Amino acid sequence: MRRFTAVVPIVAVALLATAACGSGDGDNQAADDGPVTLTVATFGEFGYKELYEEYQKLHPNVKITERITKTEDHHKNLAAHLATNTGAADIEALEEGWIGQFTAQPSKFVDLNELGAGDIKNQWPEWKWNVATSKDGKTIGLGTDVGGMAMCYRTDLFQKAGLPTDRAEVSKLWPTWDAYIETGKKFEAAKVPGAHFFDGPTVMYRSILGQAPVGLYDGDNVVVDSNPEVKKAFDLSALAVTSGLSARAEAWTPAWNAGFAKGTFATLGCPSWMMAYIQTQAKDASGKWDIADVPGGGGNWGGSWLTVPKQSKNQKQAYELAKWLTAPEQQAKVFQKYGNFPSTVTLYEDAVIKDFVNPYFNNAPVGQIFSKSVQTMKAQYLGPKAGDINTQIINGLTRIEQGKQTPDASWQQVLTDVKALL
């Protein structure tokens, strides 16, 4: 789940209206060798800028334009485009929290198996492929990255607080989330100017929930009110807030973005894609961030897929671009430059991944860190309302942080708000 807004590059605007907003099922595709503009709708930092340039050099008749919006807005917009059968891009990215909503309506997307995707199925772990496959066997997306979990921390702020800075020693500080909170209290006691222990409850909640074998759904059933793992993630995040550890920087807001550069929080739950976000928002903080183990060990949060809506008038060309962007070679390039961890299993034992260290993160062996995390993870089932349910839970944590409700009162409202979604 990568949420930040960027300026959309303006490429071939005159062609955008016809290339991105077609209706119908793609009967008017451009000739394979004719000029075509492909629009790609994403969120966050997919790390595709250089890849677009490379692809256009390899395919001179293809022009690519990308439109980027916040994660929630992106998926809401796509739902509206599908409902009205107009406005969708040639390629639409889907995040794990929302993909169940769209695999439930496979008729709105191209079944990529019909374009040959079955021939490359073995590039991905079975669970990654299955998540993007509808109940009737239609595969609507090709996997991009996968989450994996770690904990990013600021060595300079830890040093000021009198805490160890070596990543192995830091990992020993928090074998559990309770120990993480106790470490946070020690950090706050040091009164480091302008800094708090963690950013806010959103990332912490999603990190804890991502470690549970069963999350919001058990099969097709929403179990927010009965699964103790959901309440545990909520309660621990609320406790961290009420203990005064939060920088009160709401995730994916301008204040949060600025906090990376200013050093207003010392730790951050760190799925592999978060590395790209940190490097983008805090370009001058290279060497100040490092990566340790996540409390509780393992887990997964995030990961996305590229889909081709049936509205696209360039379905074949869009599929070829999506296939190329998600190929192991391209996933490796994105990982090395931005940190998004590949979902293609063939790379996990490749030296290009497992031997890679990231100089920005104090030469942390990120290839080893996230390979281990991803290979031991067990994917949760994410139903069609997962994204909206998480939004309601996070809203509840925000109310606690703002002093509007007690944790107990907020949880009761969360249960009411979740029930209203179903």
pTM score of the predicted model: 0.80
Mark whether 218 and 315 lie in a shared domain: no
| Tens-digit pLDDT profile for residues 101-119 | 999 999 999 999 999 999 9
303-307/141-146 β-pairing: antiparallel
| Tens-digit pLDDT profile for residues 374-392 | 776 677 888 889 989 999 9
Mark whether 199 and 341 lie in a shared domain: no
Q: 332 Cβ partners below 8 Å, 6+ apart? A: 342, 347, 350, 352, 353
| Tens-digit pLDDT profile for residues 197-237 | 999 999 999 999 999 989 999 988 999 999 999 999 999 99
234 falls within a domain: yes
66 falls within a domain: yes
Collapsing DSSP states into helix, strand and coil, what is residue 303? strand
User: Average pLDDT, stretch 42-67?
Assistant: 96
How does DSSP assign 102-119, residue by residue? HHT-GGGB--GGGGTGGG
Backbone angles phi, psi at 100, to 5 degrees: -60, -30
| DSSP assignment letter at 364 | B
Mark whether 131 and 255 lie in a shared domain: no
Mark whether 393 and 314 lie in a shared domain: no
Which residue intervals of 33-70 are DSSP H helices?
49-58
Question: In this structure, which amino acid lies at residue 350?
Answer: D
Mark whether 309 and 294 lie in a shared domain: no
Burial class (CB in 10 A: 0-12, 13-18, 19+), 359: exposed
User: Average pLDDT, stretch 17-43?
Assistant: 61
Mark whether 85 and 200 lie in a shared domain: no
Mark whether 224 and 372 lie in a shared domain: yes
114 falls within a domain: yes
Domain count across the chain: 2
pLDDT of residue 33 exceeding 80, the answer is no
| DSSP assignment letter at 137 | S
Collapsing DSSP states into helix, strand and coil, what is residue 337? helix
Q: How far is CA 179 from CA 321, 374, 418, in A?
A: 46, 23, 30
| Tens-digit pLDDT profile for residues 331-357 | 999 998 888 899 998 888 889 888 999
Q: What is the mean pLDDT of the chain?
A: 90
Taking the C-alpha atoms of residue 343 and residue 365, their distance in angstroms, rounded to an integer, is 18
Taking the C-alpha atoms of residue 362 and residue 180, their distance in angstroms, rounded to an integer, is 22
Mark whether 345 and 274 lie in a shared domain: no
Whole-number pLDDT of residue 41 = 98
Domain containing 288 equals 151-301+363-421
Report the CATH number at residue 315: 3.40.190.10
Mark whether 94 and 184 lie in a shared domain: no
pLDDT of residue 5 exceeding 50, the answer is no
